[in-house]
Amino acid sequence: MKDERDKEQEELANHVKIFPDGEFKLKFKDEDAVCSMDVAYTEDCAFVSCDIMRGKTGEWINTFVTIHELPTTPYQSGYFAYYEGPLLLECLQVLNKRLKLTPALVILDGHGLAHPRKFGIACWLGLKINIPTIGVAKKPMIPHQMELGNGKGSIAPLLLNDEVVGVAFRSNKGVKPIYISPGHLISLDASIHWIKKFHGEYRIFEPIRRADQAVRLAAKGEVGEYDLID
């Protein structure tokens, strides 16, 4: 018997818009921002970080951290959006209100289409904000069927019912792959293009790595160079 959330995810997945490869080119204006987001937790609260870059150049602008109450929905694999999605949405709402920031693209530490019901957290947030989203995850939910080369830039497709829903991507030689999938209002090839363009020298996508560092510092009470918004 299906969980009610399974049915809801399958229904919502029908509303996700993924453009065919080659059909859609996401172009940024000079003022457009790209936001990469991550979350960390303490016993008392959650911290959400939003790393902000200029979309046209990839230049880092700042990383902001917002403070939130802990999720009331227990974490369960396959339903990550229900656990962490509302926190990401609240963070974007705070940044919009306080900084008048509306991003042109949001990149999340999690999955988009590469999810058993084609509705990862990047799809969930994309539908909520009606903005292009990409999921970049450290672990797969959908296995890749082809051998992944060991060299930097190697790619293998992630297949769900014979449909390519994302890729495993070797960001540096010999490191474990990361997993890229479109969330909403973007194509797979555009998702891969922008992750490659902004990636950086480490295994983890650089803006996500900065966001991860920011929330970890905030959770320890060491805000450092990052701005804390409560």
CA distance 154 to 167: 10
Supply the range of the domain harboring residue 201.
10-139+178-224
Backbone φ/ψ region at 43: left (φ over 0), alpha (ψ -120 to 50), beta: alpha
Please check whether residue 47 lies inside any domain of the structure: yes
Output the pTM of the full model: 0.93
Residue 222, judged by CB atoms within 10 A of its CB (0-12, 13-18, 19+), counts as: exposed
Please check whether residue 165 lies inside any domain of the structure: no
Summarised one tens digit per residue, pLDDT across range 214-230 is 888 888 887 654 566 65
- Determine what percent of the chain is predicted with pLDDT higher than 70: 96
Please check whether residue 44 lies inside any domain of the structure: yes
Please check whether residue 115 lies inside any domain of the structure: yes
The closest of 141, 121, 137 to 208, measured between CA atoms, is: 137
The closest of 135, 136, 178, 133 to 153, measured between CA atoms, is: 178
Radius of gyration (C-alpha) of the chain in whole angstroms: 17
Please check whether residue 171 lies inside any domain of the structure: no
Count of structural domains, the chain: 1
CA distance 198 to 207: 8
Give the tokens for residue 190: 């555009």
Apex CA 172: angle with CA 36 and CA 211, to 5°?
20
The closest of 90, 107, 125 to 230, measured between CA atoms, is: 90
Summarised one tens digit per residue, pLDDT across range 7-37 is 999 999 999 999 999 887 788 998 999 999 9
Please check whether residue 3 lies inside any domain of the structure: no
Please check whether residue 106 lies inside any domain of the structure: yes
Largest distance between two CA atoms of the chain: 50
The domain that holds 16 is classified in CATH as 3.30.2170.10
Summarised one tens digit per residue, pLDDT across range 193-204 is 999 988 888 888
> Per DSSP, which regions of 58-198 are E strands?
60-68, 105-108, 133-137, 155-160, 163-169, 178-184, 186-187
How high is the mean pLDDT of the chain?
90
